[in-house]
Amino acid sequence: MKRTIVGFAVVAGLAQLAASPAQATPNDPDKAVGAELVERSLILASSMQAANPARTTFKIDPVKALTAGLERGKGVNVQATAKVTYSSGMYATSSLDGTIEFDARGAAASDVAHNLRYSKDLLSRMMQADPAETEILQRSSIRMVSSGDVSYVSGPVVAEAQPLVLGAPGAATWVRYRGTDVPSGNLLLDVLEPATLETLLAHRTSVRDGVVKGTIKTIKLAAVSSSYAERYGSGAKKGRAGKISYTLWIGPDGLVERLSAKGALPSGKGSVQVESDTRYTDWGRQVAVLPPMEGDVSDKEQVEKYVPDEVPGIWS
């Protein structure tokens, strides 16, 4: 199987359904910019506190509650759904379930399962492009373990190709992809980043009974969110601005319980509609996300003629 268009939903230029996504590589300048944004965003989160009355609305400051728990060995469970619409009748949906491990900046590693489903019209297009891969994705899920810029993928979409290359039994059950992102549980907004959460609270339009509603332009979001800038590339910080509306549910402990976001992201002369809803539970749980045993892993380059070119799905 040769990958053609899986994972296209979170990369600039997604309206061109015949083009493959360009994920960041370790030498990608957007990665360097992202690291710089992390430092700036942490400073911004601290400096904005006094100027953000939304934080004082809660008995426990949500940003302080978040940062207090951001350390290795701790994490949170996430359950999420997403829908990406390219045009009328052409959309993809996905669900994700798993655990995210923290570091001081936010999401550092994750162990998740997710799927990818196409609408009838998009499925017809995808079956023409790559029927074998598309058929497997529609009937199965994907397991993904991520840390830093490396993701390990398991499931029928890669496993069924392994015997062709390595022979069975004893074939590797995981494929390692480099230049990937750690999914934070929401396609649009990463509330595990202190500066992002701070900015969303600042751009509220209403706050009532622990529910925060607001809107933000994508250019402003990219200026403070390193994960958003890395995921959507340098184009997110210039050119036409998209708009994201969101609702945050904050619990009595100050931690985010749910995030619902919907945005129109510029793409070519038009836009792509992205919806993502995430629930966060068991904050602060003990977590140790470990990579698969090396003997069970093959690098994507070893089997590139048979497995997807990029991580399957829309979450990395």
When pLDDT is cut at 50, 70 and 90, the band that residue 38 belongs to is very low
Q: Give pLDDT tens digits for 42-87.
A: 444 444 444 555 565 788 999 999 999 999 999 999 999 999 999 9
Give residue limits of the domains in the chain. Answer: 8-302
Contact 119, 91 (CB under 8 A): yes
- Evaluate the omega torsion of the peptide bond into residue 169 and state whether it is cis, within 30 degrees of 0: yes
Q: Give pLDDT tens digits for 193-249.
A: 999 999 999 999 999 999 999 999 999 999 999 888 888 765 566 667 889 999 999
| Between 169 and 218, residue with greater pLDDT | 218
Kindly report the pTM of this predicted structure: 0.81
Distance CA 79, CA 152 (A): 20
pLDDT above 60 for 102: yes
Give me the pLDDT at residue 236, please. Answer: 61
Here the tokens at position 73 are 């060995």
Helix then strand then coil, % of the chain, to nearest 5: 30, 35, 35
Name the CA dihedral angle for 220, 15, 176, 155, rounded to a multiple of 10 degrees: 120
